[in-house]
Amino acid sequence: MIGGSSAGLFFATVLKHFLPPAKVTVLEKEKKLGKKLLATGNGHCNISRLHIEPKAYNHPEYLQKCLALADNRWLDEMLSAMGILTQNRGELLYPLSFSASSLLALLENGLRSNGVDVVLDTKVEDYVSNGQRVRVETNNGTYECDLLVIACGGASSPNLGSDGSFFGVLRKHGYQIVRPRPGLTSIKTNPRPVLADGSRHPCHLKAYEGENLLYEETGEVLFRNDGLSGICVMNAESSIERHYQKGKDYRVVLDLFPDLSLEDLRAMYEKALKSHGPKALLAFLDPSLCRFVESLAPQDVPSYLKDMSFAYQGSSGFAHSQVTLGGVDLSEIDEKMRSTRESGVAFIGEVLDVDGLCGGFNLSWCLLSSYLLASSL
């Protein structure tokens, strides 16, 4: 298997549950396994969800099909096979330890106890499938296998090991690669809210392409010196980047008081003006956000607070993104994650053109794709 990604760790562990005699070797180019897994859920690892909604993904019909192919108890079976105890916090599913470090240590222990060979600091340079066996060429020698599972992740968070370099190898093999783009990251905007850097405020966010509404969500927005962040912003960024075409107008619009009508907010603002004069805005916003709004000198402050518009100037890039948009086109695999182009090759996880919103959806895909492949062998 290529890659000790989250999907790779899940698959290698659970395959020994479905097929105990299997000999499994994990080839990982980093010096440690699971670097990206450690960063998930702010170090707590939101491993999955109680309910996985297909509409949260870029290909909802495909996810619906995958979930239909899996047994209703597939997630319980996966977690049981890996020996992972969980707790739920609302819809979100976490390790009982509430620790990504503990989860990774358990997965590594499972690999060792099940006889999985882990080869670190080894980069796969190419492979050859002759229809019966697959020969894998690395910087540290050659390996052969009956099934090559490609679980190398995408291009997001290159400092954690996902640099997208293997997409070049796959293109040489003729695979269609949907252009990789950074997903679930902060955005750069015009105007830049420099004066509000570090401020947070609950908002209802809407993302537009021209007049076409792409995405909306209510959540906390973090104002930064170059743009906006926060979970709802990152989700909106993924939606914008999925649709992005050069030359088109994209913008994010914030309603800072979604529970108040414009009329009610205006009445409250006029009352604050009578009490506090030029400091009235402090009744509604923190000082930094006040300075930003005042610097723009809106003619109608209440209207601006209900319709704060930012032109989309791009994302913060792969370095800060949580997931890769794009990857191996889904037309290249069958319903069990096997390549339709090459015999003895399969794909799981983020390397495929599947991505979801924040909140455990992307690790759920790693688990589900691993289950569909492992249970078919």
Residue 76: is it exposed, middle or buried by C-beta count within 10 angstroms (0-12/13-18/19+)? exposed
C-alpha torsion sign, points 319, 325, 330, 336: positive
Two tokens at 363? Answer: 């690790």
Q: Dump pLDDT digits (tens) for 280-332.
A: 999 999 999 999 999 999 999 999 999 999 999 999 999 999 999 999 999 99
- Domain covering 6-182+324-374: architecture: 3-Layer(bba) Sandwich (3.50)
Alpha-carbon distances of 27 from 8, 31, 120, 143, rounded to whole Å: 10, 11, 6, 10
Q: Dump pLDDT digits (tens) for 150-185.
A: 999 999 999 988 899 999 999 999 999 999 999 999
Of 357, 359, 60, 59, the residue nearest 215 (C-alpha): 357
Domain with CATH 3.50.50.60 in the chain: 6-182+324-374
Q: Dump pLDDT digits (tens) for 6-43.
A: 999 999 999 998 999 999 999 999 999 999 999 898 89
Give me the mean pLDDT over the 207-220 stretch: 98
Q: Is 59 helix (H, G, I), strand (E, B) or coil?
A: coil
Beta bridge partners of 238: none
Q: How far apart are CA 280 and CA 272, in angstroms?
A: 5
Give me the mean pLDDT over the 36-55 stretch: 93
Q: Dump pLDDT digits (tens) for 183-196.
A: 999 999 999 999 99
CA angle centred on 219, ends 218 and 223, rounded to 5°: 125
Q: What is the DSSP string of 322-356?
A: SEEEEEE-GGGB-TTSBBSSSTTEEE-GGGBS--B
Q: What is the pTM of this model?
A: 0.95
Q: How far apart are CA 116 and CA 17, in angstroms?
A: 12
Q: Dump pLDDT digits (tens) for 70-124.
A: 988 999 999 999 999 999 999 999 999 999 999 999 999 999 999 999 999 999 9
Asked if 239 and 214 count as a contact pair (C-beta separation under 8 A), the reply is yes
Two tokens at 71? Answer: 């047994």
Asked if 323 and 347 count as a contact pair (C-beta separation under 8 A), the reply is no
Phi, psi for 290 (deg, rounded to 5): -60, -45
